[in-house]
Structure 1
């Protein structure tokens, strides 16, 4: 049985995680962390520091502003943590790197297994195409999403750039009448509307041919499923920084 503390338990993803956990016989929530005070089947605390329950892992779907403090508290309690919150600052990422010397930390800008398999595919085809194909990314999300472009769009762009011989300069949307659109630019475009859980399309556009690789999230359940797999994986790991590439090996 995996004993979980949910950070951000009443947010959209926190509630999605509760559904997945309730349908599993080998997962249980022992405590929740949230500023909101609602009724739950487990104790609710304002911060992890207040929690007294014994747990195997903390799973975080919260707000980027709260992640640094959570990581500090996980270090104090010697608790592994899965950070699934997006839009993290470089300062917070650096804190996570430092904390990973003491505790296991799992971080991914996208917890979907499909997105991470897509990354592997992009890294295989990009070297053959980069010289002759323009590369653009279009991402779509619901109208409540605060950050743009999405962390996943940046994750895809970085994974492409990692295997490019000539690194791409990111252009966030395109406007103006004198654009030259050189091949060493990668456009990243954000759409916000309705209740779209998440859609990412990577376009390779060459002369007279176009290749598109697309991932569509039909529900938030895929992110909850990936985070729970990460939690199971992290339980028995040594201190260090882990990602989906480690889980998929």
Structure 2
């Protein structure tokens, strides 16, 4: 049984992770960290890392990216493995994460869903085959409260395609007018916001007389919570380093 410290425990995703941990036989939530104080939690919730006294085995961070540096500093100081499940990270934060991974195990993915990461592996095989003859568009849909657009997952999918192409393509965020003559050298990325959509991503390969669509739909946020727990347990066996869903999926 691994003791978990959950950063962002009272946020929208944090509450889902709480429920997933309670239902999981191999982890238990012993402490949380959140800017929002509440008396509803069944575990201590801190707003100062220095006040945490519980024995922690692994940290899961589903907070805002403004917290990520503080999380990394705490984990390095305490020599704790950490799962970073926060999106919208700046290049500076990514650099800090890489530095931290030289001292502790760090797991990072812009999307903790096993399905999305299986989709990425499929894209690695499909994209080079279709590169010369198909235009690529990515459409993502999320709930109206999502703070970043396009989503981190949409960018992750675009990056995953670009890294296997002979000629990487330019990202175009939305299209307007009729300036599409360079579409074959671009990846169009489009964001839709509305209602309570947990998350939907479609990768469209459009050829002259045929279309291929690869689509992932999140029916609930539980898939992200379960993926983060799998990542936390995966880190138990790892030395210092930076890990992603690719390593987890290929573990066996």
Shorter-chain TM-score bucket reads over 0.9
Deviations, residues 198-226 of structure 1 (Å, cap 9, x unaligned): 00000000011000000000000000000
Partner residue of 1:38? 38
Quote the offset at 1:48 in angstroms: 2.7
Quote the offset at 1:179 in angstroms: 3.6
Quote the offset at 1:139 in angstroms: 0.2
Structure 2 counterparts to residues 1-249 of structure 1, below 5 A: 1-39=1-39, 40-249=41-250
Total equivalences in the alignment: 249
| Equivalent pair of 1:83/1:107 in contact (CA under 8 Å) | yes
Distance in 2 between residues matched to 1:32 and 1:11, nearest whole Å = 11
Deviations, residues 88-122 of structure 1 (Å, cap 9, x unaligned): 00100000000101110000000000000000001
| 1:149 aligned counterpart, secondary structure | coil
Distance in 1 between residues matched to 2:56 and 2:179, nearest whole Å = 57
Q: Which runs of 4+ in 1 moved over 6 A?
A: none
Distance in 2 between residues matched to 1:214 and 1:207, nearest whole Å = 20
Structure 2: gaps spanning 5 or more residues: none
Distance in 2 between residues matched to 1:189 and 1:47, nearest whole Å = 39
Deviations, residues 3-35 of structure 1 (Å, cap 9, x unaligned): 100000001111001111111232111100001
Quote the offset at 1:181 in angstroms: 3.8
Structure 1: gaps spanning 5 or more residues: none
TM-score, normalization by structure 1: 0.98
Quote the offset at 1:136 in angstroms: 0.4
Distance in 1 between residues matched to 2:26 and 2:164, nearest whole Å = 39
TM-score, normalization by structure 2: 0.97
Distance in 1 between residues matched to 2:197 and 2:49, nearest whole Å = 31
Deviations, residues 116-167 of structure 1 (Å, cap 9, x unaligned): 0000001101111010000000000000001010000000000000011111
Quote the offset at 1:229 in angstroms: 0.3
